[in-house]
Structure 1
Amino acid sequence: MPEPYPSVWTRPQRPRREQPPLSREQIVSAAFDLLDAEGLDALSMRRLGTRLNAGATSVYTHVANKDELIELVVDRVYGEVEPPAADDPAGWYAAVARYAHSLRATVLRHPWIASVLSETGVAYLGPNVIRQNEAVLAAFEQGGFSLEAADLALNVVVAYVIGRSSAEAAWLAKLARSGQDEREWAARLWPAAEQAVREHPRLRELYAARRGQDPVAGRDAEFADGLDCVLGGLAARFSGAAQPRRS
């Protein structure tokens, strides 16, 4: 019989023997704060031990390695996402849309997460991720999706949100390192961008139409429009009747 997968989610927490006692929750909280303040490159077990006034050995008592620690912190981030409410009176479409917008906003608040989502092992076993997935599946079932279709729809929505918001988060992190805000960057870039597409009529038309627009509002609108396409397609494919688009 194969050995069970060594997961941080199924391993019992060890008793606290340190003086003062150190808990897994304290470790996760300190790692969360360090990642938000300084990014992924700053996170190490030694650095974390120093932040907690404990040795790296004390940290390893509670998590086997850095990968497990990141799984725990990622699940804490997912705890900020608002899951769909059960039997939302606004309907499944609006409930899933709000969830998607909340997931995007959470990723943008913690841009370092974009670098680790593809490397977080079995983070999908974390309690916050499980709770959200159950709620999203229920929302799709409310819309007439079978459980199998709801599972596919959940994966499609999450793939869209994470794909878009991860790219946004990486971009915003780069902007932050440059010391510019998004509007300053856009104003400086437009002349070069328009010069680059001068021989490409479709791109030239698009760039000309967007010149002077607020780039932040533009990102928000593009995300919302794309989400409408995703949910509208899922509705047409699985729920039997497309739902109204957002107003």
Structure 2
Amino acid sequence: MASDPKADPIPSVWARPQAAARVRPALSRAVIVHEAVLMLDAEGIEAVSMRKLGARLDAGATSLYRHVALKSELMELAVDEVLGEVERPAADSPDWRAALTEFAASFRTVALRHPWLCTLLGQEGLAYLGPNLSKMNEGLFALFSTAGFPDPNGAINAVYSYSVGMVSAESAWLNTVSRSGRTEAEFLTRLHPDTSTTVSRNPDAVAIRDHNFTGALNIVLDGLAFQLNP
């Protein structure tokens, strides 16, 4: 059978043009993605389906498919949508380390606000084609290049992998705490009942997580600094 010359050369939502809205002018890709993000935040990845999303938008699944062909495409779009909330570092920042610290903190804030993000980043292999993620990578590449790093892409992978991995673990922890029905401080105290421990005496759960994230990030940045001053 001959191949269809109109077939998508790349199996990604970013590789084909948007369909014109003919049936429901009010229904657009932007509206669909916005509602999908709200649904993901409230119910999680497994709860999202084209049928349920169509019901929330008062539209049939067929109408949605005119704008988004597959659920996987919807996930790609949702990932890129929320990555647009991450503050990108300035390429001409005088302090690359401070710029990366701010970037990692912003990524963490966004990923904790949308706890499904890191999971989907590991599942959607072509998410990097999205415009927001592309701009984020371009900004990081420019920052590392300006700072004089011999391998900007390797440095990006180091910071990116650390941030995604650390926040994934943090999101899983917060999900466990949520299912327990206790506050995070109460859950920490229950895990460490010995009152002689620092955690039990002062269970400032948020401060502990902040310290853990920043402390390990500094180790990553120390390793990157060695590339500039071996």
Q: TM-score, normalised by structure 2?
A: 0.91
Match of 2:75 among 70, 78, 82: 70
> Number of matched residues?
223
Equivalent-residue separation in structure 2 for 1:50 and 1:69 (angstroms): 16
Deviation at 1:176, TM superposition (A): 2.0
Match of 2:118 among 100, 104, 114: 114
Asked if the contact 2:87–2:107 (Cα under 8 Å) also holds between the matched residues in 1, the reply is yes
User: Within the alignment, does 1:136 sit opposite 2:140 as a pair?
Assistant: yes
The one-letter code sitting in structure 2 at the alignment partner of 1:124 is Y
Equivalent position of 2:215 in the other structure: 225
| Residue matched to 1:127 | 131
SS at match of 2:192: helix
SS at match of 2:9: coil
Letter in 1 for 2:179: R
Return the offset for 1:37: 1.7
In 1, the alpha carbon distance for the partners of 2:199 and 2:177 equals 20
Match of 1:176 in 2: 178
How far 1:209 moved relative to its partner? Answer: 4.5
- Is 2:9 the partner of 1:19? no
Q: Once the 2 structures are TM-superposed, how far is the Cα of residue 208 of structure 1 from its aligned partner? A: 3.3
Q: Which amino acid aligns with 1:177?
A: R
Specify the code of the residue in structure 2 equivalent to 1:4.
Answer: P
Aligned to 1:156: 158
AA in 2 matched with 1:66? K
The percentage of counterpart residues that share the same residue type is 50
Look up the match of 2:38. Answer: 33
Contact persistence 1:144–1:240 (CA under 8 A) = no
Equivalent residue for 2:14?
Answer: 9
From 188, 195, 200, the equivalent of 1:211 is: 200
2:50 pairs with 1:50: no
Q: Which runs of 5+ in 1 are unaligned?
A: 195-206, 242-247
Shift of 1:116: 1.9
Of the structure 1 ranges 98-107 and 112-121, higher mean CA displacement relative to structure 2 is found in: 112-121
Equivalence for 1:204: none
AA at the equivalent of 1:110: H
Quote how far apart the aligned CAs of 1:239 are: 1.6
- The amino acid that maps onto 2:121 is L
Which deviates more, 75-84 or 31-40? 31-40
* Cα separation, 2, equivalents of 1:170 and 1:14: 37
Partner of 1:92: 96
User: CA-to-partner distance for each residue in 1:119-150, whole Å, 9 max, x for gaps?
Assistant: 1120011000000111111111122113xx11
TM-score of the aligned structures, taking structure 1 as reference length: 0.85
Render the CA deviation track for 1:3-44: whole Å, top value 9, x for unaligned: 721221121000001234411111100101111122222211
For 1:178 and 1:34, how far apart are their aligned partners in 2? 23
Retained in 2: the 8 A contact 1:114–1:170? Answer: no
- Alpha-carbon distance between aligned partners in 2 of 1:47 and 1:162, rounded to the nearest angstrom: 29
Separation (CA, whole Å) in 2 of partners of 1:120 and 1:97? 26
Unaligned 5+ segments in structure 2 are none
